[in-house]
Structure 1
Amino acid sequence: MSPGGPDADEMRARILDTAESLLRRHGLEKLNVIDIARAMNMSHGNVYRHVPSKAALRTAVIHRWLDRVSDETNTVASKHAPADERLVEWLRTLAVIKQRKVTEDAELLAAAVKVVQESPEILEDHAALLGGQLAAILADGMKDKTLPGVGNPDAMARTILDATTRFHHPDMVARGGSPAVQMAGLEMVISLIMSGLKAKSQAVRQY
C-alpha cells in the first residue's frame, strides 16, 4: 500500500489505467502527464502527486504490465496439485501469455522494450519473480517425489528458463512461427525436461 493509503492507491491505479489506454492508442513517445490529466478531468499537478515524473509513469505502467504475467503464472505455481503437473502447466502458461503479448498487445510490448532499455531493473525484477515461482515448484517436486532429479531448485529453474527461452522471449516468439508450431516445439522440450527430472535419480542409483 502506498503512503497515502487506499484512496491514493486507487487513484494511482486509475492514473496507470488511463496511461496504459493512451499508450495503446498513441504510443510511448506521445504519452505525457498533461494528456492523462485531461483524460481524467483533473490537473496535471494532481497526477504528479501520485506519479512523480514522466519516467516514473512509464516505468510504473510497464512494471504493472509485466506483473500481470507473473500474477497469472503464480496462479499455476500456487495450485494444490502435484509439482510435476504444475511444472508442465506453468511452462505452457508462460508460453501462451508471451504469444498473446506479441500478437495482441504489440504497442505495450514495443513500449516495454524501450522502457526496459532505460530501466533494466524492471526486467530483472520480472525474471526474478518467474524464477522464484519455478524454483518453488521444483522444490515441491523434490518433496512430493514427482521430480526426484531436481537437485538444486534455483539452479534448475535457471536452466529450464534458459532451455525454453525461445518460447517466452518476445523477440524469439515473434519470429518463431505460428502459435501451434511453437507450442508443438515447446511440448518436445517439456518432454525432455520432464524425462530428465523424473529419471535422473534412478540413473544415479544404477551406478
Structure 2
Amino acid sequence: MPPSTETLTAERILEATEEVLRRHGPAKATVVDVARALGVSHGSVYRHFRTKAALRAAVTKRWLDRTSQTLSAIAADATRAPQTRLRDWLAALFEAKRRKADDDPELFATYMVLTGETGDVVDEHLADLTGQLTRIIEAGVASGAFTAPDPRAAARAVFHATGRFHDPGYHRVWQRQGVEDDFTAVVDLLLRGLRAPS
C-alpha cells in the first residue's frame, strides 16, 4: 500500500484499529495490520501508542466513551425532572448497549475480549457512569423529588440493580420477548424506592 498523504493522528489510528479488529478479531489483529491499513510503518503507529496494549486500551476507551457522551447529555439536562432524567438515562444506556450487540455482533464480541484485557479503562467507564447517576440523584434530592441520604451509594445501587440491562454479559437476553417490560418494572420499582415521601 502506498504511504498515506494524510497526517497520521491518534484518531485515524483508532479508526483503522477498529476496522482491523472487525476484520481479523482480537486474537489475530496486529499493529502491523493497523499500519498496513493506514499505509504507514508500524513505527509510525508506535509513535502515537507506545505498545499494542496501549493501542487496544485506547480503542476500547473510544468505544465506551461513545455511550458515556450520550448519557452525559441526559444527566446534565436540567430541563427534565430528575425522575424523567433517571428513566431516560437508564433507557438510553440499555438501548446503546443493545444496539452495539445487535448492529455489529463481530465487533461487539471483539470488545467483549478487549474489555476483559483493559480493566483500568472499564473501571474508569463504570466510575463515569455511576458519577452521572449520582448527579441525577443529587438533583432529585435537591428538588425534593428523591430521598437518598447518600446519593453516591444510591447511584451504585441503581446501577447494579439494572445490570441485567447494560452489563454485556447479559447480551443474549436483551432480545428476549418481554425484556422491555422487565426493564420498565425494575425502573418503576427503583423510582418508587427513591421517591421522597409526600
SS at match of 1:14: helix
Q: Compute the RMSD of aligned alpha carbons.
A: 1.9
Instruction: Tell me which amino acid in the other structure corresponds to 1:73.
Output: L
1:182 equivalent among 155, 179, 183: 179
Percent identity, aligned pairs only, is 38
For 2:143 and 2:129, locate their aligned partners in 1 and report how far apart those are by CA, in whole Å. 21
For 2:84 and 2:21, locate their aligned partners in 1 and report how far apart those are by CA, in whole Å. 38
Instruction: Tell me which amino acid in the other structure corresponds to 1:104.
Output: D
The equivalent of 1:61 in structure 2 is 59
For 1:106 and 1:177, locate their aligned partners in 2 and report how far apart those are by CA, in whole Å. 13
TM-score by length of 1: 0.86
| 2:41 equivalent to 1:43 | yes
For 1:48 and 1:93, locate their aligned partners in 2 and report how far apart those are by CA, in whole Å. 36
The equivalent of 1:117 in structure 2 is 116
Instruction: Tell me which amino acid in the other structure corresponds to 2:88.
Output: E
Deviations 1:140-169 (A, max 9, x none): 11112222x222110000111111111111
Instruction: Tell me which amino acid in the other structure corresponds to 2:54.
Output: A
Q: Which runs of 5+ in 1 are unaligned?
A: 1-6, 203-207
The equivalent of 1:196 in structure 2 is 193
Partners of 2:98 and 2:174 within 8 A in 1: no
Instruction: Tell me which amino acid in the other structure corresponds to 1:36.
Output: V
Question: Offset at 1:177?
Answer: 3.8
For 1:97 and 1:198, locate their aligned partners in 2 and report how far apart those are by CA, in whole Å. 26
For 2:178 and 2:23, locate their aligned partners in 1 and report how far apart those are by CA, in whole Å. 31
For 2:174 and 2:18, locate their aligned partners in 1 and report how far apart those are by CA, in whole Å. 27
SS at match of 1:79: coil
- Counterparts of 1:1-207 in structure 2, within 5 Å, are 11-80=9-78, 81-147=80-146, 149-178=147-176, 181-199=178-196, 201-202=197-198
Question: Offset at 1:67?
Answer: 1.1
Partners of 2:22 and 2:110 within 8 A in 1: no
Question: Offset at 1:110?
Answer: 2.0
Partners of 2:112 and 2:168 within 8 A in 1: no
Question: Offset at 1:111?
Answer: 2.3
Question: Offset at 1:106?
Answer: 2.2
Deviations 1:49-71 (A, max 9, x none): 00111111111111110111111
Instruction: Tell me which amino acid in the other structure corresponds to 2:166.
Output: H
For 1:121 and 1:39, locate their aligned partners in 2 and report how far apart those are by CA, in whole Å. 28
Question: Offset at 1:176?
Answer: 4.3
TM-score by length of 2: 0.89
Question: Offset at 1:186?
Answer: 0.7
Partners of 2:49 and 2:55 within 8 A in 1: yes
Instruction: Tell me which amino acid in the other structure corresponds to 1:123.
Output: V
Aligned residue pairs total 192
Q: Which runs of 5+ in 2 are unaligned?
A: 1-5
For 2:192 and 2:36, locate their aligned partners in 1 and report how far apart those are by CA, in whole Å. 56
SS at match of 1:65: helix
For 2:156 and 2:54, locate their aligned partners in 1 and report how far apart those are by CA, in whole Å. 30
Question: Offset at 1:78?
Answer: 1.2
